[in-house]
A and B are shown apart, each in its own frame.
Chain A
Amino acid sequence: MTRRTIFSAFAAFMVFARTMKGAKMTARRPKQSGERRAESDSAGPVLFELTAEERWPVRGLDPVLHIGGTIIDSYRFGNAENTSLIFTCYDASQLQEGAAVFMRYGQDESSRIDFPNFAWSTVKE
């Protein structure tokens, strides 16, 4: 292998990432109303709000939130500046305690943002 090919191979292996400044995630139960609701913690929707100091782009690829093997692709913007992106998991029984969490546009790894593992204790009511 020439020095040039070694260098290029190395350069290509560097992780190429587009970061979002100040990306954070919070989880909460949405305000739902109903006449009777089960007391169970693990049923019903959970909202995941991703905030950042820059706006979340609207792209050809969709932003997708991965929580373990659960894929959440239902999203909306939480504010007019688009610095808040809210994902809705419709069925919280799919969420595994301790599951790895990341958001990514489609399969664009350079857009991937990792968040702390999912913990039920962080879900606000």
Chain B
Amino acid sequence: MLYVANQNSNTLSVVNTATNAVAAAPATSFSPASMALSPDGARLYVSNPNSNQILVYNTANNTVVGSFAIGQTPLGITTDATRVYVALHANAAVAVFSASTLLQQANIRVGFGPSAIAYSQALNRVYVANTLSNSVSVIDPTRIGTSAAPIIGSITVPDSPVALTIAADGRTAWVASSARPTLARIDLGQGTVDARIQLPVSPAGLALSPDQSRAYVTGYGPQVAVVDTRAESVLKTTALPGCPQVRCLAMSAAVSADGKLVYIANTSLNQISVLNAETNELTTTRINVGQSPRAVLVGPAPRTTPSAAEVSN
């Protein structure tokens, strides 16, 4: 399934990727911005920065099973086995809550303007990009609830980091910065930036192929840049369908589990475009979703039997 957060219609679009039909459009709270799935795929967490709320959905039937407040302007979300981590953009903090009780366990002071956040299972670390401090804070979850400070490091990442994603092996992070468009690679074991690639796109969204060979950066234009991560160079920049305004934006990308398709949220056009990862060409598929899709997320494969709602669409 493909999950899309539509920031201006206050809805999700749940798309059956087998048919590219919108299977459900559940309501959210105000201005949904970011999403994360629980490791077992059963729960979807959605941040709503204009109501300072997190909503929790049961992905089996797309109903809200939890809604609560844990801090101001929640933005990026990530999960590990037992906890959910939320970047509180206005509070310079990461709020941590228990996935089982939905109660807050910690409020960790990080840099200014934390936005994107991700978890490395291999290293058992949470990484959060602080857009206003030009840094990535490193959190050790084993320290939460103890007297030891959960922040164990800070990695300098210049030029307003806005997107962060961690490779499947958990040992490398990629960070897109928007002030001077760049893509930085972080060796998470060393805690240092070991490559910086100039981007032709002012970035908003970032996704990695499962084998980490490709990074997909979406941004203003709207455009998507395909980056060869091993050659550390941009392979191709593709324009997405534009909008009537002078500033058009694609804010997010997500790669299918088999790495063959890249779903791109074309925010200004209220559509998902699909890039063929083998040819790096846009397919003709355009999925109409709600207003201003800001985030896309690929989830577990859909059921093979279409639901009654899908049949009737």
A residues touching B (Cβ–Cβ < 8 Å)?
A: 30, 32-38, 40, 43-45, 73-74, 88, 90-91
Contact = CB atoms under 8 A, between A and B. Distances in A.
Shortest Cβ-Cβ A-B pairs, 8 listed: A34-B66, A34-B102, A32-B68, A43-B103, A38-B101, A74-B72, A91-B104, A90-B71
A33 B53 CA distance: 11
A88 B67 contact: no
B69 A91 contact: no
B70 interface: yes
B69 A90 contact: yes
Contacts of B101: 34, 36-38
A37 B72 contact: no
Given A33-B68, A38-B103, A74-B72, 17 more contacts: A30-B69, A32-B67, A32-B68, A33-B66, A33-B67, A34-B66, A34-B67, A34-B102, A37-B103, A38-B101, A43-B104, A73-B72, A88-B69, A90-B70, A90-B104, A90-B107, A91-B107
A34 B69 contact: no
Nearest to B67: A33
A34 B67 CA distance: 6
A34 to B, nearest CB: 4
B-side interface size class: 10 to 19
A45 B54 CA distance: 13
B201 interface: no
A43 B67 CA distance: 15
Nearest to A39: B101
Contacts of A38: 101, 103
B52 interface: yes
Nearest to B104: A91
B304 interface: no
Contacts of A74: 52, 71-72
B284 interface: no
B312 to A, nearest CB: 29
A71 B293 CA distance: 35
Interface in B63-91: 64-72
B65 A34 contact: yes
B102 A36 contact: yes
A28 to B, nearest CB: 13
A44 B100 CA distance: 14
A29 B66 CA distance: 15
Contacts of B68: 32-34, 44-45
Nearest to A94: B107
A88 B104 CA distance: 14
B56 interface: yes
A73 B72 CA distance: 9
Contacts of B71: 74, 90
Nearest to A44: B103
Contacts of B52: 74, 88
7 contacts: A34-B66, A35-B65, A38-B101, A40-B103, A44-B103, A90-B69, A90-B107
B208 interface: no
Nearest to A74: B72
